[in-house]
Structure 1
């Protein structure tokens, strides 16, 4: 019977459609696949069915530019997946090579999942781990089972890692370690570029070396040039020097550093710190420091801190003995509990532990004021020891709000005992104004004397005795009979209002 008579016409068309679909399913092995089929290039032995085949001996297969080798494999034709075992190698042209003990490769997703002594390498690096996922679409590799990367002299380890082959960059997380013959780095998150050998890190990060230590919470390190840029609580310690700042640049090889914002340069041996808003450090052979913008020097050599403030502070180590010169300028101010001062500029040298105040300098100690063209204050065991005043030397001592004892001369030399001025020798053109008192403290008059050289003894910063070395011209002027010339020596100037308070220096510290 003719089929057209047996079936209705519409039913026949439906059956024909079913037959066509069935035929396509049988004769088109790529049915249901979204990617090109994995091609088997060689196998010494093959068993199984068309859909599931077992391959053994020198197995070679290829997929879209990648060639893979193994001892044995199972191929799932319909799923376009191959599972491989033993001596596995995956070559992606000249760009990437991977080996492992076992691997599953999906031809649709172009993802290879390898495990067992996995080694992934290109021209720049070698990665070793126990399990990895290689995505050929994004050209990335990902592991979560701890990995080790070697790149020339650098070795990196981490718990989690992602490799971006196109960028030649690794992204590491958890227990990240970078080892180099010159240093080691520890951090939580790091990006490492295998071509440039530059490392970017986030979170608490530590760099250790034989010569020092670096800490920051965000930074960049060039492992070739040993140059680094850090920010977020950055700290660099090299030998006896510690640098801190909002951001730091440091060249470990040249021992050069620059810091920006809330910076601190500390010498842990000499126990001083310089703070400011911008700083530079240069290491051997002549160690130099420069700090500007609200600069402040603090010496912690004893319980009484010394503060020296200025717009700019420079420090240089003079020789191998460790002696150092420090320059502070302009608008210099200094403070200790026993002495305060100001000048346009200041020089301090450790050779003789002396402060040189220049440019309209002035020193105060309790009720005493000292001025001259140049003032030199020397220390012994970090305590005031000697005082030298050159040209137009003048000492002003307040008796009360109205009376001032005064000593004037060309030059003066003084000696301290127990932080107090003990004696002053006036050399040349000596003059004094001294308010004489009875034993009960009643003022009786003004002792006005001129003498070339004068020796003054002090007690608790008060005049105890005046000795005229050569014959003086002296007179006692009763109170109420004095003129302005009698009670004001030439160059008299009350500058006590300029004395810097401790709060001024503490405010600079708070800025940090």
Structure 2
């Protein structure tokens, strides 16, 4: 039979081993929470009830409360009333109640929770603070105040290291100058830059912005938007694959399948790159196969070129438009081509420069400068300066011609009705019998002429001064008789509608 001494020595050894193992387990689980102060302590060693000016500490964090329950074995404290947690000199949290786990270093607070650092203040009803990775997480809705910015969301995660919030669900950013609404947002409290993913709306007094990916600097009011970006500023709407916008300076840059629309003037400019400057004259510049569409006309007006620029010139909203290099225009009743075009909405006039040419059905008009004024969105007057020339197709081989120094014309029902030739007038006019048989060509020189048209064809020529004319029988004419100086058949250059629609294939 084993002696009593041996039994006691064996029992003591077992206790020593168990005590050592328990210490190792506690060390592996986490450092014990240390009670710094409590006015009252009751309970057992495992479960202690603390009351009155309770202060406890754990690995660099000090916590205060009115009362608490300490669970020694699990290394957990449940605190109640006037909770305050200080981590270093940068992070503070207050609440009505909190459970702190010393093993996981996680605090779960509830009841009017307020988390503060030097850059922001977070308020919510429930918050989980993980001291291991310096994050705070809520799912019950929260509000963050950062200088003049107020952010709200249903779900939020705060990363104390980079001082960054990640928000999800019903996200709203409020600023004295604008309001932002989105589904997912990352916000850096130091730089005050917001990154958003998913449908995002930004509203301000001057306009609104929509996009599905981008970032916004709330300090400088600069933004970069991607994917279905739309900026609406006053009466201007900008769209593009990517878009930069400075809201304070009212400057925007867009790239990739852009569209800039003026809802007041009722036009849209498509292209691949665009620049918008809102302050002052409000300038819009588009390059990259740009296309201008005016949808205020009975028939849509298409204009293309290498560069299209519009400028608002006064408070009434009047605009000027410039089209540079290889300008082409198309409308059902009128087509044109020139190196450049200038348009002003104040007098509704188009001016074509650089080998300009206009076509209306079977009539071609050329000169040094061509101007057309509009009335009620229809052609009203025509002015051609320097080397004015009208070429009208009479048959496959015959062309009626009118030339002079300048000319002035008028339209009726969107068709050329009469033309006054001013200075150095000359004509070539094919004469027909009543049955339509050609009998000859009338060749005349006269200082000033008046030509009447019917259905875009020459109906009658009136000589204002005495002409020098002769009728040449058909077959007796020479090339010099039937080809006036500066004769040039440019009908092969006439723009077609499909050419403009090709430019719209990539339009948003």
* Range of TM-score over shorter length: over 0.9
C-alpha displacement of 1:22? 3.8
Alignment of 1:21 with 2:23, yes or no, is: no
Q: Aligned to 1:471, what secondary structure does the other structure show? A: coil
Question: In the alignment, what sits opposite 2:387?
Answer: 392
Q: Give the gaps of 5 or more residues in structure 2.
A: none
Cα offsets for 1:401-456 (capped at 9, x unmatched):
11111111111111111111111111111111111111111111111111111110
Pair 280,142 (structure 1): closer, same or farther in 2 beyond 3 Å: same
Question: In the alignment, what sits opposite 2:278?
Answer: 283
Out of 249, 273, 281, the residue aligned to residue 254 of structure 1 is 249
Counterpart contact for 1:184–1:209, Cα < 8 Å:
yes
Q: Find the aligned partners of 1:262 and 1:51 in 2 and give their Cα distance.
A: 70
1:71-470 alignment, distance < 5 Å: 71-470=66-465
Q: Find the aligned partners of 1:24 and 1:137 in 2 and give their Cα distance.
A: 27
Q: Aligned to 1:344, what secondary structure does the other structure show? A: strand
Out of 471, 487, 508, the residue aligned to residue 503 of structure 2 is 508
Counterpart contact for 1:118–1:132, Cα < 8 Å:
yes
Counterpart contact for 1:41–1:61, Cα < 8 Å:
yes
Q: Find the aligned partners of 1:253 and 1:98 in 2 and give their Cα distance.
A: 36
Counterpart contact for 1:33–1:80, Cα < 8 Å:
no
Counterpart contact for 1:280–1:290, Cα < 8 Å:
yes
Out of 482, 490, 496, the residue aligned to residue 495 of structure 1 is 490
Alignment of 1:68 with 2:66, yes or no, is: no
The 10-residue stretch of structure 1 (327-336 or 483-492) with the greater mean CA deviation from structure 2: 483-492
Cα offsets for 1:364-402 (capped at 9, x unmatched):
000000001111111112210111111111111111211
Out of 29, 32, 40, the residue aligned to residue 45 of structure 1 is 40
Q: Find the aligned partners of 1:380 and 1:48 in 2 and give their Cα distance.
A: 96
Q: Find the aligned partners of 1:483 and 1:415 in 2 and give their Cα distance.
A: 33
C-alpha displacement of 1:487? 1.4
Pair 163,358 (structure 1): closer, same or farther in 2 beyond 3 Å: same
TM-score norm. by structure 2 comes to 0.97
C-alpha displacement of 1:29? 9.6
Q: Aligned to 2:118, what secondary structure does the other structure show? A: coil
Q: Aligned to 2:505, what secondary structure does the other structure show? A: helix
Counterpart contact for 1:278–1:291, Cα < 8 Å:
yes
Counterpart contact for 1:30–1:37, Cα < 8 Å:
no
Q: Aligned to 2:305, what secondary structure does the other structure show? A: strand
Root-mean-square deviation over aligned CA pairs: 1.8
Counterpart contact for 1:90–1:97, Cα < 8 Å:
yes
Counterpart contact for 2:297–2:378, Cα < 8 Å:
no
Q: Give the gaps of 5 or more residues in structure 1.
A: none
Q: Find the aligned partners of 1:175 and 1:55 in 2 and give their Cα distance.
A: 41
Counterpart contact for 2:298–2:377, Cα < 8 Å:
no
Cα offsets for 1:41-77 (capped at 9, x unmatched):
0001111111111111110000111000011111111
Q: Find the aligned partners of 1:262 and 1:393 in 2 and give their Cα distance.
A: 40
Counterpart contact for 1:29–1:78, Cα < 8 Å:
no
Counterpart contact for 1:45–1:57, Cα < 8 Å:
yes
C-alpha displacement of 1:328? 0.2
TM-score norm. by structure 1 comes to 0.96
C-alpha displacement of 1:24? 3.8
C-alpha displacement of 1:17? 4.0
Pair 3,500 (structure 1): closer, same or farther in 2 beyond 3 Å: same
Counterpart contact for 1:30–1:78, Cα < 8 Å:
no
C-alpha displacement of 1:20? 2.1
Equivalent residues, number: 507
Counterpart contact for 2:180–2:202, Cα < 8 Å:
yes
C-alpha displacement of 1:332? 0.2
Counterpart contact for 1:391–1:411, Cα < 8 Å:
yes
C-alpha displacement of 1:238? 0.9
C-alpha displacement of 1:320? 2.4
Cα offsets for 1:62-107 (capped at 9, x unmatched):
0111000011111111111111111100000111110111111111
C-alpha displacement of 1:319? 2.2
C-alpha displacement of 1:316? 1.3
Counterpart contact for 2:305–2:324, Cα < 8 Å:
yes
Counterpart contact for 1:83–1:103, Cα < 8 Å:
yes
C-alpha displacement of 1:33? 4.7
